[in-house]
Structure 1
Amino acid sequence: MAARTARDDDDLDDLAEINVTPFIDVMLVLLIVFMIAAPLATVDIGVDLPGSNATPTSRDEPVPQVALLADRSLTLDAEPVGREDLAARLLARGGDPGGLRVDVQADRNVGYGEVMDLMNLLRDAGFTRLALVARDTRGEP
């Protein structure tokens, strides 16, 4: 078994060349990981929304009440309505849809995304004055 103790000049030439391919691979993998992880880090913020103790405003005109129930069904003024018929029934009330205020109620067990889907449905139909209705907690401890 022979051991090599001296260096040749040829060995230095081989070591002077740096292979950057593994470095680039690692950097691309890290970039992808951070691009995926960054949006997920902002979603998991726990929010404890308070109840509303604001004084209700008086209404001069009747306001349509759209409710999203726990079973994900919709009602318009306490009458069941399908998603595809909701906008048409609201438009049948007449007037400018952008000027008509619509109150949106949602069961507390309904997810935030489903409430946003309902609001987007109403917004796509031209209703831009949407109000979220909360339970009155002014007399509760």
Structure 2
Amino acid sequence: MAFGSFDNKGASHTVSEINMVPLIDVMLVLLVIFIITAPLLSHSIKINVPQASSQPVEQEPKTIDLAVDAQGQMFWNEQPVTSDDLTRKFAAEAALDPQPELRIRADLNTRYETLAQVMSSAKAAGLKRLGFITRPGSSDAKEAGPAGAEGGATLPAN
């Protein structure tokens, strides 16, 4: 929009400024609309909800300690067990609610095949919680590789 002056002494030039009046009018209208509608949007219904005062039942999770020695002999909570008995015990423990956690403690020289068979029969029976118990190794075993793993890692079975 070009504005002129009353004195025509110089060349006419255009003034390029933003007209703020319409913008301010629109903002004021929006502000009034929001002020009016805001209390209408926050409506609530008051109801009396019953309060529960019971304590949750805390159950001690049962664990099964399965030890496997270097010769492949298995021990269920320190009692010797055969592989056939082991399968039956896995099925009986899988039927319990909540299921106990099976913790496998194997000798350093136990064959992987034996451990794989134990884990697969536990999974086939339906046990879902499986853990491994290890003990800290010496500094030589740590440098040698994963045989000297530290801590008691618990891994979920798929």
Q: What is the TM-score with the length of structure 2 in the denominator?
A: 0.44
Instruction: With a CA cutoff of 8 Å and minimum separation of 6, indicate the structure with the bigger relative contact order.
Output: 1
Point out the structure with max Rg over C-alpha: 2
